[in-house]
Amino acid sequence: MINTKVNVKTPTDINLARFKVWNIEGDRRGDVISCVNGKLWITQTDDMKDYVLESGQEFWVTKPGAVVIQALESSQLKYSLNELENHFEKNILPLLHTPLPNTHRQTR
């Protein structure tokens, strides 16, 4: 299990036999799971969906917390740490506040 978020962009190759499980914990947002061959089932904390990846498909971790991967058949995956230089929520532009034109005219 990898449980630290290190600023590394080198993919980790992982081989899983059928039905074996691999997990990683912490704030993993921005990490990428690539299915090299086989078929993988993926779930992440606080995500109501489960995901199935087949050879050539990728999954981007979008939630903080544990990510669990199970091989539905003998599989090879690449786990890339911190593919995004900054998490998506840090890249949101602030709202631009423009004052409304003065619609109230003062009369004398």
Q: Which residue has the higher pLDDT, 54 or 10?
A: 54
Residue 2 has pLDDT above 60, yes or no: no
Specify the fold of 12-81. Jelly Rolls (2.60.120)
Q: Which residue has the higher pLDDT, 78 or 90?
A: 78
pTM higher than 0.75: no
Q: Where are the domains of the chain?
A: 12-81
pLDDT at 3: 39
Q: Which residue has the higher pLDDT, 1 or 85?
A: 85
State percent of the chain over pLDDT 90: 56
> Is residue 37 classed as helix, strand or coil in its secondary structure?
strand
105 exposed, middle or buried (CB, 10 Å; 0-12, 13-18, 19+)? exposed
Report which of 54, 52, 50 is spatially closest to residue 63, judged by C-alpha positions.
50
Whether 88 and 53 have beta carbons less than 8 Å apart is answered as no
CA distance 23 to 69: 6
